[in-house]
Chain A
Amino acid sequence: MSTAPLVAFSGISKTFGGVHAVENVSLDLNPGEVLGLLGHNGAGKSTLIKILSGVYPPDAGEIRLSGSPVNIRSTRDAKALGIETIYQNLALSENLDSVANLFLGREITNRFGFMDDEAMEEAARTSLDRMKLRLPSLSKLVASLSGGQRQAVAIARAVHFNARVLIMDEPTAALGPEETAKVGALIRELASQGIGIILISHDIHDVFDLADRLAVMRHGKVVGTTRTADVSKDEVLAMIIAGTLPAGMARRDH
């Protein structure tokens, strides 16, 4: 490809006290692409994306953003670079309401730091409406929201701030079929705007229809990457479960 990928991991490793959570992973994400990241629980998916979103520093390896190496040392750094993350546990503050969560760390304030609650509520409502996400009341504490509603808040929070890279770690885990379809449509729409999306799941069915490309991880390593159109679900399942590549596919396709 002539242009540099939006995100390029190369040789990323991370160990937790002897456990190789991520081992020598190289992976690309292109603009406007939905990359499905698959693998069993414990395969290292969350750890890999947390390195991109600034939660963990990598033990080794390099991340390039649109060709230039970046040093992401905190979640603040990642956000400043336009990398937004929906974490697997959502990372919401239960003791705050939806609006507060949506704007947490990025409140609309005057120049003395005093918040404009009405402006934030209005912006949150507009944002949720545009994403066609449904919440009964914006002023309810997150603690009292259902799993699906929480997920809506977390998604809205990531999408609201015009990300270049959007990481979604099991984003539809708590959603019903109707809501899942909405999020799916949202993901395609965002990709069509040129945002690069990493969509993580341990379930092939969640990503097969959405992803342009699939990457499979197993025991901290990338088994292989492939265009979704080139493989069947069964072939991908074999990659996830046994780590075996479909016939004719090279180990690491880039």
Chain B
Amino acid sequence: MAVATVRPRSFSDNIAQAAGLDARLLAMLGILVLIWLGFDFLTSGIFLTARNLFNLSLQVSVVGIMACGMVLVIVARQIDLSVGSQLGFIGVFGALLQTEILPIADPNTWWLACIAMIVVGTIIGVVQGVLVAYAGIPSFVVTLGGLLFFRNAAYQINEGRTISPLNETFQLLGGGINGSIGATWSWVFGIAAIAGVVLVVLRGRQRRRGHGVAQRTPLTDAITIGVWSALIIAFVMTMNAYQQPKTGIAMGIPIPVLILIGVALAMSVIAKKHRFGRHVFAMGGSPESAELAGIDTRLLTVKVLALMGFLCGLASIVITARLNAGASATGTMTELNVIAAAVIGGTSLAGGIGTIYGGILGALIMQSLESGMILMGVPTPMQKMVLAVVLILAVWIDMAYRRRQAT
């Protein structure tokens, strides 16, 4: 008779599956822990201080936000080299908007500027996407043009000035002295996050029961909740342990990090649970098969690059607010960090393979290396040379790992 059964999962599968973790992710987390412990040792305990971890989380948010989009772009077999230039251009645009067009001190200025910046990013993405998908120009070429165009457009529109200061509410989005949510709200956030994890786990059980699909063991679910709760509590405690230098008030979670967490969650859900994400992976795995399955691959390509532009707009808000300035050079070479984060995070340049959490971990690994080397006083050129070697090593190890998996 008919047999299309779902095999029961083994115990090790259970553990790995517990936090939606796979072996790759665990390996990356392991490497990250090693890097942190290593730098902590080399810097005699400076690396793992609340202050440094707070700054690290702040620094990682801009590249992390963009890496979420870049993962999907690369999964779709495209590339976007223009993201660094977009960051600069949109930043200058947003700064000009606040200082020259909108009343700078008005309470509505900050959100109007934010929306405008995100819209500009999205439009840039749509235009580049149309050139790639409908005019058939390779994305490498289109976005290389974008890199050149928007960097210089950033210089052109502000005539080389650095535009500062910006709207005060807007500045909070960069996570400056007042740009964190404080101890109480951080705990509220932490507790809500744990409640969210519990809810997701219980919902999963319910749905699987409803459809007679293989159930996860209660142990697996307990581990899921345990691991995530521990991580969330540790994170909140760390952010609260860092205090405002003058007042001694606990900082709590910086707003950019909240934005990153929100983007990461949304993008993970889109990648895994939304039709759009499914189609992007299908298209990246095999464009012909996706087309034959009836997917409009051209429109999909435009959407992917538009989403990348949207996230560039968001990231630009964060960096411009943090610098409290629109400067034409902002984001120079950031495209390389973003692409490297995605690739270190296991996104395959051949398309069809990648994860959002991988991209964020990749960004975290890159930023940790950079920040650790700065603390150690490694000269800047040397830092970049090390990062270059790490990038190549990471891809090499990843390829070897995949080859072993395949056999």
Contacts and interface: CB of A to CB of B under 8 A. Distances in A.
B288 A138 contact: no
Nearest to A135: B4
Given A125-B4, A128-B4, A118 B210 contact: yes
A87 B290 CA distance: 13
B352 A95 contact: yes
B3 to A, nearest CB: 5
A167 to B, nearest CB: 12
Contact of B211 (A119, A129, A132): A119
A93 B2 contact: no
Contacts of B3: 129, 134
Contacts of A76: 294, 296
| Interface bin, chain A | 35 or more
B353 A95 contact: yes
Contacts of B207: 118
A115 interface: yes
Given A75-B291, A93-B285, A95-B284, A134 B4 contact: yes
Given A95-B285, A104-B295, A137 B213 contact: no
Given A95-B353, A115-B273, A128-B4, A107 B291 contact: no
B285 A94 contact: yes
B2 A96 contact: no
Interface string B207-218: 110111100000
Q: Is the interface of A mostly helix, strand, loop or mixed?
A: loop
B292 A87 contact: yes
Interface string A117-143: 111011011001111111111110001
A43 to B, nearest CB: 21
Given A121-B213, A122-B213, A138 B294 contact: no
B179 to A, nearest CB: 32
Given A118-B208, A121-B213, 5 more contacts: A96-B278, A104-B290, A104-B293, A118-B207, A131-B2
30 contacts: A53-B292, A74-B294, A75-B291, A75-B294, A76-B294, A91-B289, A91-B293, A95-B284, A95-B285, A96-B282, A104-B278, A105-B279, A105-B294, A106-B294, A109-B274, A115-B274, A115-B278, A117-B273, A121-B211, A121-B213, A122-B211, A128-B2, A128-B4, A129-B1, A129-B3, A129-B4, A132-B1, A134-B2, A134-B3, A137-B7
